[in-house]
């Protein structure tokens, strides 16, 4: 086939797991959130872009791109790293969670639309100190939920210490190991065997670029 085929299933039919590394929590209904709390979160998210650039500078994004590319030579899966400083205004207004945003990005970035249903999204929302992993059904049905939870917990420890590169690199290594175990590259070492090729970009989706996919 010439490219990835469009699937009719809902884009988030895999598993989603996540945690908060600090202030982020799944929010109560909007009617139960005080005006002060909503404004406080709005301000925090609006000012988070600079913090994200400091946490994930350009040279780190380049290294992560190289590591994703190297990983995908070892298996047929697809990995996308998406990092946002804060949520779009529409999400903040209705009190949306990081999990909701991660599942939306999983669909918008087409992580679900891969030949083997084995795409994985690693999502970071800095303003809420939240991490989400969303795996498509081809991989999620092979991996116990506690494995994903442990992966997210390890990322959280690194992020609390502001070791963002260590946390993302370790998460990438662990996701890669799962994909190698369940979807190894062809015996000749050529991953992404024809006809699909490299189905998704290797570069992280970052900051304002991620909001282009609202």
Closest CA to 156 of 175, 145, 170: 170
State the sign of the Cα–Cα–Cα–Cα dihedral 91, 96, 102, 105. Answer: negative
Provide the edge-to-edge strand list for the sheet that holds 205-206: 15-20, 130-135, 119-125, 78-84, 205-206
**pLDDT recorded at residue 160:** 93
pTM, to two decimals: 0.81
**pLDDT recorded at residue 159:** 94
Tell me the C-alpha distance between 38 and 73, whole Å.
44
Running DSSP on this structure, what letter comes out for residue 184?
B
Domains of the chain: residue spans and CATH? 15-185+196-211 (3.10.310.50)
**pLDDT recorded at residue 24:** 37
Contact 78, 169 (CB under 8 A): no
Tell me the C-alpha distance between 36 and 41, whole Å.
9
Digitized pLDDT (tens) for each residue of the chain, 214 residues in all: 333 222 223 333 345 555 544 333 344 444 455 777 777 888 888 888 889 999 999 999 999 999 999 999 999 999 999 999 999 988 988 889 999 999 999 999 999 999 999 999 999 999 999 999 999 999 999 999 999 999 999 999 999 999 999 999 999 999 999 999 999 998 655 544 434 578 999 999 987 555 544 4
**pLDDT recorded at residue 33:** 56
């Amino acid at each position: 086939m010439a490219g990835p085929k469009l699937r009719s299933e809902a884009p988030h039919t895999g598993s989603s797991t996540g945690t908060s590394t600090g202030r982020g929590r799944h929010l109560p209904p909007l009617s139960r959130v005080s005006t002060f709390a909503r404004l406080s979160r709005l301000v925090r998210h609006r000012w988070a872009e600079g913090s994200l650039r400091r946490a994930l500078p350009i040279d780190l994004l380049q290294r992560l791109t190289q590591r994703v590319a190297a990983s995908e030579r070892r298996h047929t899966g697809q990995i996308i790293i998406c990092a946002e400083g804060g949520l779009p205004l529409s999400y903040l207004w209705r009190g949306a969670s990081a999990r909701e945003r991660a599942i939306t990005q999983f669909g918008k970035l087409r992580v679900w639309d891969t030949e083997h249903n084995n795409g994985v999204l690693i999502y970071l929302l800095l303003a809420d100190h939240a991490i989400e992993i969303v795996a498509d059904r081809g991989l999620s049905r092979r991996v116990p939920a506690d494995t994903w939870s442990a992966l997210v917990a390890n990322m959280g420890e690194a992020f609390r210490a502001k070791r963002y590169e260590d946390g993302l690199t370790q998460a990438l290594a662990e996701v890669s190991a799962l994909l190698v175990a369940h979807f190894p590259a062809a015996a000749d070492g050529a991953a992404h065997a024809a006809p699909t090729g490299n189905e998704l970009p290797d570069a992280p989706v970052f900051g304002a670029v991620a909001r282009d996919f609202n």
